């Protein structure tokens, strides 16, 4: 599934078939007026249900997402606000089809992978940019973001070029088609808006060159009565909760007592009252070495209330030379294999934040462009939580 997620996150190098529009006899429309109508109509949406199909194709791979989606706005709309959501569907690629369920109930994010029979959980966040990518990748690729944006089509209205392309059916309804070139960018999009309700049903994004992605919504229901219970996760009977996957937030952190390269012993009990960041890594796993500069920068900026440790796993080598070569001086704990087992870790890098109360506050697997900021904010929240 990791390769599948990488393709979906990138949303690039895709070629998809476009739906042609047909002119309405004797009628032309002002594309900016249509965008303004769509902006006003979409702004009124507070909750929505729909089915989505999103297709992405590159020369080497193809992925299709099909899902039933529920969304409910929390508070005022912001550019990066995260709504309550439940997305139940599948992702199909070269490796086959996998059923996925992704949920945000306002307190917790969860992703259920029916192939690995794993439920992964993390703390919910108000800002979508702070969400753990491992938990929201499926949601992001089934989300018509415009429904939760304060200016749904502001970028389109301010675009450099607009064209009215007639009408076509999309999402089961007759639609007006507007194409837009975004201001100062090579990116374009063709939007299909319902003739009667002005709401988006389909978008074909041209990201530059031959790169494209297509998303189409069907069975769109606006402002349905959705109470918070509609977004709760009940563990599927075929999945045994907590039998696989990393330790989750809210659980007590395993006690540990590990040695440093200079012979000192560091124990969790000695960190009482402090927030602890454990970054599991191995010199034998190339991706985890990319985490070293991130661990170093977080260590350098950590306040007195935070302890940062790199935990060496599946590796008996002295890490001193490698750390020096990478300009790293953060403290390292050796022989962390048993601790990794207790945390149900089977890959690296992994970041775990332990709160002052001794409970897991945050977990994340892997390293990407957002990880450093995510970990920093998780540490900051843990520090502030029990001040």
Q: What is the DSSP letter of 294?
A: H
> Kind of pairing, strands 275-281 and 306-312?
parallel
In a 3-state reduction of DSSP, which class is residue 337? helix
Which secondary structure element, helix H or strand E, spans residue 173, and what is its range? strand 173-181
| Separation between Cα atoms, residue 177 and residue 174, nearest integer Å | 10
- 64-68, 234-238, 359-363: which range is least confident on average? 234-238
pTM of the model: 0.63
18: confidence class by pLDDT, cuts 50, 70, 90 = low
Burial pattern 301-320, b for ≥16 Cβ within 10 A else e, equals: ebeeebbbbbbbbbbeeebe
Residue 116 · residue 244 · CB < 8 Å = yes
Peptide bond into 349 cis (omega under 30): yes
Taking 80 as the threshold, does the pLDDT of residue 331 lie above it?
Answer: yes
Residue indicated by tokens 């970041």: 351
The better pLDDT of the pair 9, 80 is held by 80
For the chain, percent helix, then strand, then coil, each to nearest 5?
25, 35, 40
Taking 70 as the threshold, does the pLDDT of residue 14 lie above it?
Answer: no
> Kind of pairing, strands 350-354 and 332-333?
unpaired
Return the half-sphere exposure (C-beta side, CA atoms, 13 A cut-off) of residue 99. Answer: 8
In a 3-state reduction of DSSP, which class is residue 146? helix
| Structural fold of domain 257-385 | Glutaredoxin (3.40.30)
Residue 167 · residue 195 · CB < 8 Å = yes
| Separation between Cα atoms, residue 78 and residue 194, nearest integer Å | 24
CATH topology identical between 2-222 and 257-385: no
| Structure tokens given for 323 | 């750390």
Q: What is the DSSP letter of 346?
A: -
129-144 average pLDDT score: 84
Taking 60 as the threshold, does the pLDDT of residue 4 lie above it?
Answer: no
- 39-53, 71-85, 131-145, 239-253: which range is least confident on average? 239-253
| Separation between Cα atoms, residue 364 and residue 134, nearest integer Å | 7
Q: What is the DSSP letter of 270?
A: G
pLDDT for res 87: 93
Architecture, CATH, for domain 2-222? Clam (2.50)
Q: What is the DSSP letter of 208?
A: E
Q: Which of 80, 88, 63, 67 is nearest to 8 (CA)?
A: 63
Which secondary structure element, helix H or strand E, spans residue 218, and what is its range? strand 211-222
Q: Show me where the domains of the chain are located.
A: 2-222, 257-385
pLDDT for res 332: 95
pLDDT for res 19: 64
Summarised one tens digit per residue, pLDDT across range 43-99 is: 999 999 999 999 876 666 678 899 999 999 988 888 888 899 999 999 887 678 888
150-157 average pLDDT score: 95
């Amino acid at each position: 599934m990791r390769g599948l997620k990488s393709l979906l996150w990138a949303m690039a190098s895709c070629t998809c078939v476009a739906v042609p529009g047909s002119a309405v006899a004797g009628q032309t429309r002002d594309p900016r007026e249509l965008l303004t109508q769509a902006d006003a109509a979409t702004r009124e949406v507070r909750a929505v249900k729909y089915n989505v199909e999103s297709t992405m194709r590159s020369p080497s791979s193809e992925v299709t997402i099909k899902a039933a989606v529920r969304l409910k706005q929390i508070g005022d709309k912001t550019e990066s606000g995260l709504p309550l959501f439940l997305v139940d569907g599948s992702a199909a690629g070269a490796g086959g089809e996998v059923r996925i369920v992704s949920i945000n109930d306002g307190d917790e994010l969860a992703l259920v992978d029916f192939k690995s029979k794993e439920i992964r959980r993390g703390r919910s966040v108000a800002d979508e940019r702070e969400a753990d990518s491992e938990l929201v990748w499926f949601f992001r690729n089934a989300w018509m973001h415009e429904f939760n944006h304060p200016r749904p089509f502001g970028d389109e209205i301010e675009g450099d070029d607009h064209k009215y392309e007639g009408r076509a059916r999309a999402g089961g309804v007759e639609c007006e088609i507007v194409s837009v070139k975004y201001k100062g960018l090579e990116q374009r999009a063709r939007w299909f808006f319902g003739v009667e309700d002005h709401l988006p049903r389909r978008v074909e994004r041209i990201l530059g060159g031959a790169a494209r992605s297509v998303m189409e919504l069907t069975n769109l229901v606006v402002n349905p009565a959705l109470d918070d219970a509609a977004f709760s996760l009940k563990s599927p009977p075929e999945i045994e909760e907590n039998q696989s996957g990393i330790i989750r937030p809210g659980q007590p952190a395993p006690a540990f007592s590990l040695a440093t390269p200079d012979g000192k012993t560091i124990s969790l009990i000695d960190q009482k009252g402090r927030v602890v960041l454990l970054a599991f890594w191995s010199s034998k796993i190339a991706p985890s070495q990319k985490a070293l500069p991130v661990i170093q920068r977080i260590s350098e900026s950590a306040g007195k209330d935070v302890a940062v440790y790199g935990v060496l796993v599946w590796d008996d080598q002295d890490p001193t030379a490698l750390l020096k070569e990478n300009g790293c001086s953060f403290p390292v704990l050796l022989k962390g294999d048993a601790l990794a087992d207790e945390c149900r870790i089977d890959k690296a890098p992994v970041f775990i934040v332990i709160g002052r109360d001794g409970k897991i506050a945050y977990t994340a697997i892997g390293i990407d462009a957002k990880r450093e900021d995510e970990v920093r904010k998780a540490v900051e929240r843990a520090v502030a939580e029990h001040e």
